Structure 1
Amino acid sequence: MGAGLCALLVGAAASVGLPSASAADSPTASTAVAPASTGLLAAMQKDLGLSKSEAVQRLAAEKQATAVEGKARNAAGASFGGAWFDAAAGKLTVAVTDSGKADAVRASGAAVRLVSHTQRQLDSTKKKIDTLKAPAGVSSWHVDPQASSVVVNVVASRKSDNDVRTFVARAAKAGPVTVRQVSEAPRTFAAGTVGGDPYYTGNVRCSIGFSVYGGFVSAGHCGQAGAEVRGWDGSLIGNFQGSSFPGNDYSWVSVGNGWWTVPVVLGWGTVSDQLVRGSAVAPIGASICRSGSTSHWHCGNVLATNETVNYSQGAVYEMTKTSVCAEPGDSGGSFISGDQAQGVTSGGWGNCTSGGETWHQPINEILNRYGLTLHTA
């Protein structure tokens, strides 16, 4: 198979190719209204339990919620307590601490909930907790605007461990904290080399995230700066130009040697390959889908943002948690909401047979860090 065709397969098939039009420091959403593909609607029906018409309405409502969030945040001013997409109501809900701001927020197109703490206060609390060394029994923590609290997740079987109890007590001194139990601790999703349509570095298999001009982005735990990257056919794609893990979980790889990039995310036959038109951030509660070289295409919802994940290798900050499943080898693959790139797969717990949760590293942070421009349709 010629290098050109191989290149197309890596750009369009192995990779979750991402559009190149949004500047790294200014994520954009396409102004054109592109209809959702039949395949995407089918995937949402399967994974989210929606009818076709409900899936169409959901995507339209989420797009509107994303557009409204900036105006609603400005209307709330210093009393802004966070925002999320309410799937049942089909609109954005904005938390405020000052009831006097409610009418202005409603005028922006969002619903309002009165809460006790501002986003700034909750972010400050989480930042203090980020300075603590977490034991293995603490899986993650994040700001939850609906609870107006920082949620600390502990592994149920470890909840009575002395080090877990000590961490929770110290975290509670930082500000409003709620403790929740989870069944498993998170892990990264890199894998040993097996067949498939991924990329390889050494004996590690990962998935391509999004195409950028000059290369693609992926997860940091997949390889170190300078390491060679090879495609599904064993030919050289390029090298890791930058990589960060733990602390962050992102990387970018240069592309050459007859390979090139395209602005699509592979649908793996489950859905049609998806064009990417921007990187506008989906709110909490919005639908989101993931593409990876092991478990292919799956969908779910955004559960939390700005979450610190406590991997065995060290904490990773500012991650987004989702209800989407993933498996080893899916690391680095794409998360997309509608036609907007969201991030690259980092890790999680569970699998795509029994279910689980997965975190992604937000795409705009990666673009900003390396000065990259997304390859968009």
Structure 2
Amino acid sequence: MSRLAAVGGLLLGGAMVAQAAMASETPRAAARPFAAAPGAGGTGGALVARLGTARTAGDWIGADGRPVVAVTDRAAAREVRRAGAEAKVVSHSMNELTSATATLRSAPRVAGTAWAVDYRTNRVVVSADSTVSADDWSRMSQVAAHIGDFVRMEHARGTFTTRLNGAQPILSTGGRCSAGFNVTNGQSDFILTAGHCGPAGSTWFAGTQGDQQLGRTVSSTFPGNDFSLVQYANGDAGDGAAVVAIGGGNGVRITGAADAAVGQRVFRSGSTSGLHDGTVTALNATVNYPEGTVTGLVQTDVCAEPGDSGGPLFSDGIALGVTSGGSGDCKTGGTTFFQPVTRAMAALNVKLIVSAQTAGSAPQNASPAPSAPAAQGAAAPNAASPGSAAPIAGASGQTLLARLTDTRNVGPGLLVIAGSLIALVATRYIRAEQDRRAYQRYYSATWG
């Protein structure tokens, strides 16, 4: 019985240690509803802002996670390296690259084309989908050639189209679209989704049969930008407002909003193709949809399909954009463009609804800086309401091993374990001594 008691003490002490270590994990700080938080390339962005667009040509996240800044002179390169970032000396400044895109915008519009600045190659890349005729391709090529050899023409898979639908389906007489993120103006709650989903006044329904009236579009901007607000019929987004569906009954939580960074690993969820990931390849992209031109978009290599439009783009719990359109599919790959949420929320004067789980004892306006490439793990499903949004929560805080070795957290449990070990050793010694004496008595009686 004494041995059982000692073993029980060891188990109890171990449980106390594990519980203390886990309880000591610092809760994540709550993000501000609309954070002007730095993106994953915050250091690079700050350097670009300080050096100016005449001496730089963008920044991105390198394969090793370090910020990289394109610069046009060696003095700027030295300053970048002193700040702890990697410098890449290039031939063309951001001023030249921006001038090139302005020339493309002033040329006759060709539906089915798109362009963006590729920071990593120091080029402006013009893409043309399968609907662009040979004559239009020739005309665009001539415009590109007149600008300079840093403008590259290429063919894109499929066609550039707006991608109707998304993570949680919402339905109207105009078709099916996706709920993006839940936002609020402090008096009423809304769904932030794509502007091409429908004009102001559109009525939306939820449910598999479209039998639950959801709300009405109160503001819509498309083309030019691509965002809209759907006001909930009862003014309340309800439970799960900060959770986005990712399929399989799982959901993820949103903790804040920020601008995307080139090279950042991102996730997109949509009702047609589910959850997919990729990287940001360009910012401030322009797309000439058949319906009109949209500028200032985030360009990625995340795939999407018709039915994914309006759905959320996120990384490490940070909302980045809503799906606008693209080309290709999730079998062969493609290009997808997103409306940045920060620009949309600023224009609409709304704030993101974030997960209360992140509140803890931290102030509500504390904003964690989003990280770059990070492993994402599914959060509690919660019954995500249409428009809920939250990227997959990544691991944070100390490792379990670090917490187990922190004596501030495990003192009581360690005392129980130490006492139990002493008791176990003592009982083993007493039992061994008893056995030895019994052995002596037995053989002395037999052979004595």
Task: Give the alignment's TM-score, normalised by structure 1.
Answer: 0.77
Q: What is the aligned partner in structure 1 of residue 95 from structure 2?
A: 120
Instruction: Report sequence identity in percent.
Output: 35
Matched, 1:21 2:41: no
**Residues 235 and 259 of structure 1: CA distance in aligned 2, closer, same or farther (over 3 Å):** farther
Q: Are the equivalent residues in 1 in contact too, given 2:119–2:282 (CA < 8 A)?
A: no
**Residues 74 and 365 of structure 1: CA distance in aligned 2, closer, same or farther (over 3 Å):** closer
Q: What is the aligned partner in structure 1 of residue 115 from structure 2?
A: 141
Cα deviations by residue, 1:54-104 (Å, 9 ceiling, x for unpaired): xxxxxxxxx7x43322332244334121011122x3211100012101122
Residue correspondence of structure 1 range 215-364 to structure 2 within 5 A? 215-232=190-207, 233-257=210-234, 259-261=236-238, 262-269=241-248, 272-364=250-342
1:108 Cα deviation after fit: 2.3
Q: Are the equivalent residues in 2 in contact too, given 1:206–1:293 (CA < 8 A)?
A: no
1:167 Cα deviation after fit: 2.1
Partner SS, residue 192 of structure 2: strand
CA–CA distance in structure 2, aligned partners of residues 353 and 145 of structure 1 = 27
Matched, 1:365 2:343: yes
**Residues 361 and 157 of structure 1: CA distance in aligned 2, closer, same or farther (over 3 Å):** closer
Residue correspondence of structure 1 range 49-64 to structure 2 within 5 A? none
CA–CA distance in structure 1, aligned partners of residues 135 and 295 of structure 2 = 24
| Deviates further, 245-254 or 162-171 | 162-171
Q: What is the aligned partner in structure 2 of residue 11 from structure 1?
A: none
CA–CA distance in structure 1, aligned partners of residues 131 and 330 of structure 2 = 23
Matched, 1:199 2:177: no
1:288 Cα deviation after fit: 0.7
Q: What is the aligned partner in structure 1 of residue 15 from structure 2?
A: none
Cα deviations by residue, 1:182-205 (Å, 9 ceiling, x for unpaired): 2322111116x9xx9411121411
Q: What is the aligned partner in structure 1 of residue 61 from structure 2?
A: 85
Q: Are the equivalent residues in 2 in contact too, given 1:22–1:28 (CA < 8 A)?
A: no
CA–CA distance in structure 2, aligned partners of residues 369 and 202 of structure 1 = 27
Q: Are the equivalent residues in 2 in contact too, given 1:140–1:152 (CA < 8 A)?
A: yes
Partner SS, residue 352 of structure 2: coil
1:133 Cα deviation after fit: 2.5
Q: Are the equivalent residues in 2 in contact too, given 1:322–1:357 (CA < 8 A)?
A: yes
Q: Which of 67, 70, 76 is residue 95 of structure 1 equivalent to?
A: 70
Cα deviations by residue, 1:169-189 (Å, 9 ceiling, x for unpaired): 124434541222223221111
**Residues 145 and 197 of structure 1: CA distance in aligned 2, closer, same or farther (over 3 Å):** closer
**Residues 98 and 158 of structure 1: CA distance in aligned 2, closer, same or farther (over 3 Å):** same
Partner SS, residue 299 of structure 2: strand
CA–CA distance in structure 1, aligned partners of residues 44 and 106 of structure 2 = 30
Structure whose CA Rg is larger: 2
Q: What is the aligned partner in structure 1 of residue 157 from structure 2?
A: 183
Task: State the one-letter code of the partner of 2:59.
Answer: A
**Residues 174 and 76 of structure 1: CA distance in aligned 2, closer, same or farther (over 3 Å):** same
Partner SS, residue 247 of structure 2: coil
1:153 Cα deviation after fit: 1.2
Task: State the one-letter code of the partner of 1:309.
Answer: V
CA–CA distance in structure 1, aligned partners of residues 273 and 246 of structure 2 = 11
CA–CA distance in structure 1, aligned partners of residues 131 and 320 of structure 2 = 32
Please provide the CA RMSD for this pair.
Answer: 2.4
Task: State the one-letter code of the partner of 2:242.
Answer: P
| Deviates further, 259-268 or 326-335 | 259-268
| Deviates further, 222-231 or 120-129 | 120-129
1:216 Cα deviation after fit: 1.4
Cα deviations by residue, 1:270-318 (Å, 9 ceiling, x for unpaired): 8x42221222223111111101122221111111111111211122111
Task: State the one-letter code of the partner of 2:223.
Answer: P
Q: Are the equivalent residues in 2 in contact too, given 1:96–1:118 (CA < 8 A)?
A: yes
Cα deviations by residue, 1:23-75 (Å, 9 ceiling, x for unpaired): 3xx5236xxxxxxxxxxxxxxxxxxxxxxxxxxxxxxxxx7x43322332244
How many residues were matched structurally? 316
CA–CA distance in structure 2, aligned partners of residues 321 and 114 of structure 1 = 24
Q: Are the equivalent residues in 2 in contact too, given 1:219–1:345 (CA < 8 A)?
A: yes
CA–CA distance in structure 1, aligned partners of residues 234 and 130 of structure 2 = 49
CA–CA distance in structure 2, aligned partners of residues 278 and 306 of structure 1 = 21
Task: Give the alignment's TM-score, normalised by structure 2.
Answer: 0.65
| Deviates further, 170-179 or 329-338 | 170-179
1:256 Cα deviation after fit: 3.2
Q: What is the aligned partner in structure 2 of residue 169 from structure 1?
A: 142
